[in-house]
Amino acid sequence: MHVDFQVGNSSNSSIYDCNPVSTAVNKVCPSNKRINSSSLLTLITFSVAVFAGVIFASISSGLGELSFLSLTVFFSSLTSRAWVLPAILANLLCILGLKPLLTHNLVFISFFMLRLLSRVRETQGLWRFVLPLGVVYLTEYFINQGLMELLFFHNIFLTHAAQYRWYQTLYQLGVLLSRSSLRWVKIRKVWILSVLQTLNAVFLLLAVRYLFLPTVWLVFAFILYEGLLGGAAYVNTFHFISEETEDRHREFSMAAASVGDSLGITVAGLISLPVHTYFCSL
């Protein structure tokens, strides 16, 4: 079946059919207060103009994640495995409107990084999980925000917009599968996943620059693989922090680790902006 390609979002004559703006444009308080604040900010999101709503939604998401995640240490291990699934399902359902957020949790990243640095002697073992998770999410969201839109094939059975939606859907499917796999597969050396994800990002960056991939099906495979790596890094990081951290540090460590992925996402957004500008100028 042949479908004529139509440029519907191009901002210039670039071979990448670029959007005017990169997809990168867009993660000591008691837990009950943090949760109430998260809920309130979510409600505000629905009643505030779009720009302000995006900011409130981002802060709400980060605050809610670190609050609920840190509380999972007080329940069975099944809790930490199961709580991640609703977010992935929501992403799959909302894929048409997905836009990563550059302002993701900046306030809470700064706050918890300062707390983490102040307690570095007490939580030295935490770094072996936080740093690899941050690297995984940096390379993962660099792909999502900086490269995915540019991995575009002309004159195939999918339009540019449809290709992007399929990329996002397959990414979320990979995350869903790997975050659900902890019962059968556990990976303690999370740094291996960060290395693999970095190599994946470098490969796809070269694929965008030199356009050597012959078919969209190969991109589908690499995007699914990206989601598998990211989801595995996430669920294994929090599982082993919960299992291996001392009781008195466990709640804080879970919250601090959640800032690792938020920091990686934010840095990825900052890097993606000039990368998008560069490719769109070609």
Confidence (pLDDT) at 115: 58
Q: What average pLDDT does the segment 138-143 reach?
A: 92
Confidence (pLDDT) at 97: 46
Confidence (pLDDT) at 4: 39
Q: What is the DSSP string of the chain?
A: -------SS-SSS-TT---SS-TT------HHHHHHHHHHHHHHHTTS-HHHHHHHHHHHHHHHHHHHHHHGGGS-HHHHHHTTHHHHHHHHHTGGG----TTTTHHHHHHHHHHHHHTTTTTGGGHHHHHHHHHHHHHHHHIIIIIGGG---SSSSS-HHHHHHHHHHHHHHHHHHHHT-TTT---S-HHHHHHHHHHHHHHHHHHHHH-----HHHHHHHHHHHHHHHHHHHHHHHHHHHHHS-HHHHHHHHHHHHHHHHHHHHHHHHHHHHHHHHHHT-
Q: Is the pLDDT at 118 greater than 80, yes or no?
A: no
Residues 49-100 have pLDDT tens digits of 555 656 666 676 666 666 666 666 665 555 555 555 555 555 655 554 444 4
Q: Is the pLDDT at 110 greater than 70, yes or no?
A: no
To the nearest 10 degrees (0 to 180), the angle between helices 31-45 and 50-71 is 150
Q: What average pLDDT does the segment 35-47 reach?
A: 69
Residues 221-275 have pLDDT tens digits of 999 999 999 999 999 998 888 888 777 777 777 877 777 778 888 889 889 989 9
Percent of the chain with pLDDT over 70: 61
Confidence (pLDDT) at 109: 54
Residues 168-187 have pLDDT tens digits of 999 999 999 998 988 899 99
Q: How far apart are the first and last CA of the chain?
A: 30
State the pLDDT confidence band at 122, using cuts at 50, 70 and 90: low
What average pLDDT is seen over the chain?
76
State the pLDDT confidence band at 166, using cuts at 50, 70 and 90: very high
Which of 89, 84, 281 is CA-nearest to residue 180? 84
